[in-house]
Structure 1
Amino acid sequence: MSSEASIEVWLDEMSSLVPRFVAEFEARHGYPPGEHYVARSTGRSSRDALAAILCDRSARNLIEFYSYVACVSLPDVGPGFFIQEAEEVVSGLRGAQPTCVSGPPDTPIVVFGSDGGGALFAIDRRTGAVIRLAGGSLLGAAYEVGKSELQVVARGFLEFLRSLRDGLE
């Protein structure tokens, strides 16, 4: 199955899982849920701007993702998951977010989301793995982390999306 088809299937599944998760949340947890949604993309201009800057093979699925999805908010799934809009990812690549993880060797990254508590989600531009950065320090474009502050959460972006879906099920 192509990444495009996988993302379309994921979006359809999430569109049915999110309302069910929200409807059952308070009964299960005893407090109301945060705002959960998967917003569909309404245009390709932001996706195209991202594609023009980010031509790595490792980020192909992230770029394709923005053809269908504008952003994601899942504050009560795991530690919380927020996928930024493509414009924010472009802004991050232009200096608003770290663009590498320092340490021998420096690792180029693209930040695409957060957990709402200070940790960032990024794609390792060398391997395509999705990493979670927490507790490091930002020095210019570099995010300095110790070994415990960088966690590989998925081997690739599609695997990361599947884990979000699994978190709702």
Structure 2
Amino acid sequence: MTDEFERRHGFPPGANEVRLADHADQAAARTLAQVSLVPADLITFYNSIGEVTWADVGNGYFVDPAADVLLRFKQYGTVDVGADQKDGA
């Protein structure tokens, strides 16, 4: 996926990583499933994959660990992307 990166950008790609889930990641995925409206497929993903960092593939791809997602749910709550964003003003 990074074969053309150096030719196009003039420097080699950085470290791109897919980190397998450890026990802490899997526990966070189970908690995420219990406390939020997360699709079952994402929980299945988090049971196998702990984190994805592909900074030098296309525009960059990142999947945060389940523990970070849990923290953001606690801090900010959920976002309904189907909700009408107009406030009537």
Same fold (TM over 0.5): yes
List 4+ stretches of structure 1 deviating above 6 A: none
Q: What do residues 21-43 of structure 1 show as CA deviations (whole Å, max 9, x unaligned)?
A: 45x35553321212201101122
1:94 lines up with 2:74 in the alignment? yes
CA deviations 1:81-136 (Å, max 9, x no partner) are 110000000011111x4622589525xxxxxxxxxxxxxxxxxxxxxxxxxxxxxx
Point out which structure has higher relative CO (alpha carbons under 8 A, 6+ apart): 2
Greater strand proportion: 1
Q: How many residues align?
A: 83
Q: Distance in 1 between matches of 2:22 and 2:47?
A: 9
Rg: which structure is higher? 2
SS at structure 2 position matched to 1:38:
strand
Could you say which residue in structure 2 is the equivalent of 1:69? 49
Per the alignment, residue 29 of structure 2 pairs with 47
Deviation sequence 1:32-61 (CA, Å, 0-9, x none): 2122011011222111111111245xx111
Which residue of the other structure, out of 58, 65, 84, is the alignment partner of 1:105?
84
Give structure 1 stretches of 5+ with no counterpart: 1-20, 107-143, 145-169
d(CA) in 1 for partners of 2:29, 2:82: 30
Whole-angstrom CA distance in 2 between matches of 1:83 and 1:103: 22
Identity of aligned residues (%): 27
Change (3 A) 1:53 1:77: same
* Distance in 1, Cα, partners of 2:37 & 2:81: 22
TM-score, normalising length from structure 2? Answer: 0.73
Q: Distance in 1 between matches of 2:78 and 2:37?
A: 14
| TM-score, normalising length: structure 1 | 0.42
2:13 counterpart residue number:
33
> What amino acid does structure 1 have at the position aligned with 2:56?
D
Q: How well do the aligned residues superpose, as a CA RMSD in angstroms? A: 2.7
